Amino acid sequence: MKKWILATAITAILVGCAGQQPQSSLPTGVTLLETVKVEESQVGIPYKKYLLSNGLTLILHQDSSDPLVHVDVTYHVGSAREVEGRSGFAHLFEHMMFQGSEHVGDEQHFKTVTEAGGTLNGTTNTDRTNYFETVPSNQLEKMLWLESDRMGFFLPALTEKKFEVQRETVKNERAQRIDNQPYGRMGELFNQAFYPQGHQYSWPVIGWPEDLERADVDDVKHFFQRWYGPNNATLTIGGDFDELQTLAWVNKYFGEIPSGPAVTADEKPLVTLDKTRYISMEDRVHLPLVRIGFPTVYARHQDEAALDLLSNILGGGKTSLFYKNLVKDGFAVQAGVSHPCQELACQFSMYALANPAKGGQLADLEKRMRESISEFEQRGVTDEDLQKVKVQFEASTIFGLQSVSGKVSTLAFNQTFSGNPDMISSDLKRYANVTKADVMRVFNRYIKDKPMVVMSVVPEGQRQLIAHEDNFIAPALNVSEVAVQGVTDYQQISSSFDRTSMPKVGASVELKSPEIWSGQLANGIEVSGTESEETPTVELVIYLNGGHRLIPVDKAGLAGLTASMLNESSQKRSAEALAQALEMLGSSVSFGASSYQSYIKVTSLTSHLDETLDIVRERLFEPGFKVADFERLKQQQLQSLQHMMSDPGYLANTAFDGLLYGNTNPLGVSSSGTLETVSSLTLADVKAFYQQQYSAGNAQIVAVGNLNESEILAELARFSTWKGEGTQLPDLTQLPELAGGTIYILDKPGAAQSVIKIGKRALAYDATGDFYKSYLMNYPLGGAFNSRINLNLREDKGYTYGARSYFSGGSELGVFVAQANVRSDVTSQALVEFFKEIKGYRQSGITDEELAFMKASVSQGKALDYETPYQKAGFLRLIQRFDLDANFTEQQTEITQSVTKTELNHLAKEQLDLDEMVVLIVGDKMTIEADIKALGYPVKTLEL
């Protein structure tokens, strides 16, 4: 399929062809509303739009490039449909809708989709909730059965117990994502000051904790009755399917569900502020942060596009005023401006993370942010400002069409909020038509001298750093007596067929692994590629074997710092000039480093690949290595390390690696380095590592795009003069002897959750050996949502938002890890359940049912592995890095189908011995230590 935007056709007239087809062949009650086709070299997504008699909107997009389908059901309900004092229902419902329905058993939704080889999830925001599955195309009818059953038959299966368990799960999610994260509560407190009391965006999507507590199961039932009818939903299906058969299925499963109460659009009065509001909070953070917000318009308002361009000029990357005035001069570690829009309101949002080395005073940062705004007024808008933002919008639109899920999401979004799936071309026109005068007009109307909200977030005990004393206190909530308004009586549906019978699966799909070519540059650099005709884009990665693994422990952090330097100035141009050149192309070039490799990621429109690779060559072969760049980046890395010390996930990963590998091995020290190692790094170290790492002998390239082998190799010929020998990895020092059975506690005072990691060193990567079989063995234990560990700790006990276990392997070593973030008050109980599940699985082994589930899920799931260019590039790299056979996935499928319980149970005995594992807990030692010691295991306190 080649439905493209020409890279230079920003101002082209892009229209679809709409028409009607005969209705006679359609199922009774299904009406075809429009057919949209897209001509060659035009933007858009071809689709057909239907309406069922009950009000359900159906959108079909056919794409046979991969044997899969993506099903999305979007309900026009988010937290904005809630009332004050009764928040959290929309998000709670996202969880509840996975708990089974009248004809689908408890936990069966996840199990059914996973066993079908699919993936699934749901998301909630202020304005909509969506549920989606991507599955092999022969599983489509089963997905429609599942989605229709929870739309029409959810309430009969709703119980008080399910409600209580999912309420606990939501509390755990809040603790993990908000309460236990640096700056986690900033957004919800900011919105209380930004929006008028009672505004639908003034409360958090996840809900206030006290609102969740006052909810009961009847409130949940009423919320479902009010908002989850077919007339408030859009069903969008994309992928490889038979159209007439799909229409018949949709009508069968959804057509008999009665409409819900009428739904009308909310009004969109513009948000205003009477004066500038200052608020502040203390948090367990290292970097003080100031955030400023101006109220503007709402999504797709006539001024939205111009405001987006204004935000990019002020704070969109290295060419922006914020970067120049705050980051480059070292006053801020990060700074930016954006203009996120929602259905009812937008925010013109600015932020800066202060550099404590410059004092960290947020009043000074606020002053500089205001001065940047004034500088824009004097500077005005340039032709380049307009062009680069339009190119970036165009490019992001194209990249969004690389997957079926991306296209389905776009169609569903546009239909839900505009009543028209075909909005891509009109959106492009909106941005293409913005003028300099438009940008200045919206600046004067919404930003210049206008009231704003200014929020300071400072480390605990350092209120002297806030920008200004608070002058606003959020009013107390007005708790509504009723949680839901406009509810009608529940209608019990009598189905016309037996819904208890799960649909049968269609004929097996034909797996389509990428057709791979391999070539070489004149200097011997290996290139692997595959052709992808989905979009006119190229994804290209240059890998350099080595990375952090090459670095002596006392210089940890050097690989990443060197990559950061290569993202800066060249000998010819400044970092800002290079960033501007890439922005004008709609391309991205990013140098980075990980444990075993450095890399250069290149994303480009095909028409601009030549110019983009010229920039890669300039940065790679002619780095500037300027002292000013080095000092700024080093300071940013140090401050980032200090910041990450407040992140419990980072603390857990760093400490756990140290336990497994020891502090004398690179694998036992974070690739970001430590405060001591990074502080000692010099520009000379960077230059020396550059010479060692960035040589042709270390390089391999993968390329995915709509160019053939000869065309890609011709573009890459500019790297044929690259020289240098490969670098051998130094030997690892002796690995520490693990104190198996020991529990280590790393204290994080006041933590809302405990991070638990249980594990040991394990097998190195092997695509077809015991490593792969261990992945299969672990699948029922902790590798799937409905695994033993997750069902126990999340669904049964309500201890966590999610728990899992996995094997991960590299070229030298591997690990087995079981992990979860759990409520602090159940830390010891969660450990007991972890131990019980791992021991029980090791002793009794996999069941026949689990074996069948694993084989079906893993085998069928391969249909989803190669859809996007990014996925294809990862597949190529795996073959390249580990020197695998091109057909290794076929060998894996054979192994999956033939592996026996005896083999898997033997591996479980071998790999899951708890006596060989260490346990790390990052949490509030004062509240968890006594209960943990009572378990009878050796307990030690760990210091980083």
Domain co-membership, 772 together with 660: no
pLDDT of residue 126: 97
- The first and second tokens of residue 679, run together, are 């502080």
Examine residue 478 and state whether it is found in any structural domain, yes or no. no
Domain co-membership, 776 together with 672: no
pLDDT of residue 77: 96
Domain co-membership, 708 together with 761: no
Residue 2 has phi, psi (to 5 degrees) of -130, 70
Examine residue 731 and state whether it is found in any structural domain, yes or no. no
pLDDT of residue 797: 92
pTM metric for this prediction: 0.92
Cα three-residue angle 870-876-877, rounded to 5 degrees: 90
Domain co-membership, 769 together with 710: no
* CATH at 836: 3.30.830.10
Residue 293 has phi, psi (to 5 degrees) of -135, 135
Domain co-membership, 563 together with 442: no
- β-partners of residue 539 are 603, 704
Domain co-membership, 833 together with 759: yes
pLDDT of residue 524: 96
Domain co-membership, 660 together with 715: yes
Examine residue 305 and state whether it is found in any structural domain, yes or no. yes
Cα radius of gyration (the chain): 28
Domain co-membership, 705 together with 749: no
> What Å distances lie between residue 284 and 457, 462, 473, 642, 672, CA to CA?
10, 11, 22, 11, 21
At which of 686, 719, 752 does a domain end? 719
Residues whose CB is less than 8 angstroms from the CB of residue 900 and which lie 6 or more positions away in sequence, other chains included: none
Examine residue 798 and state whether it is found in any structural domain, yes or no. yes
Question: Is 91 in contact with 124 (CB distance < 8 Å)?
Answer: yes
Question: Is 267 in contact with 439 (CB distance < 8 Å)?
Answer: no
Q: How far is CA 55 from the centre of its chain?
A: 32
Domain co-membership, 243 together with 286: no
Examine residue 493 and state whether it is found in any structural domain, yes or no. no
Give the whole-angstrom CA distance, residue 35 versus residue 60: 10
pLDDT of residue 258: 94
Give the total number of structural domains in the chain.
4
Give the whole-angstrom CA distance, residue 855 versus residue 861: 10
> What Å distances lie between residue 289 and 240, 433, 869, CA to CA?
48, 36, 37
Domain that holds residue 212: 27-34+43-254
Domain co-membership, 840 together with 809: yes
Give the whole-angstrom CA distance, residue 182 versus residue 286: 9
pLDDT of residue 23: 56
- The first and second tokens of residue 762, run together, are 């394990």
Domain co-membership, 111 together with 182: yes
Q: What is the pLDDT of residues 406-450, one digit of tens each?
A: 999 999 999 999 999 999 989 999 999 999 999 999 999 999 999
Examine residue 507 and state whether it is found in any structural domain, yes or no. no
Examine residue 318 and state whether it is found in any structural domain, yes or no. yes
At which of 465, 482, 509 does a domain end? 465
Q: What is the pLDDT of residues 717-762, one digit of tens each?
A: 999 999 999 999 999 999 999 999 999 999 999 998 999 999 999 9
- The first and second tokens of residue 574, run together, are 């400044």
- The first and second tokens of residue 499, run together, are 């819904």
pLDDT of residue 24: 60
At which of 465, 482, 506 does a domain end? 465
Domain co-membership, 749 together with 830: yes
Low-confidence ranges of the chain (pLDDT < 50): 1-21
Question: Is 605 in contact with 669 (CB distance < 8 Å)?
Answer: no
pLDDT of residue 3: 34
Examine residue 492 and state whether it is found in any structural domain, yes or no. no
pLDDT of residue 242: 95
**Which H or E run includes 455?**
strand 453-459
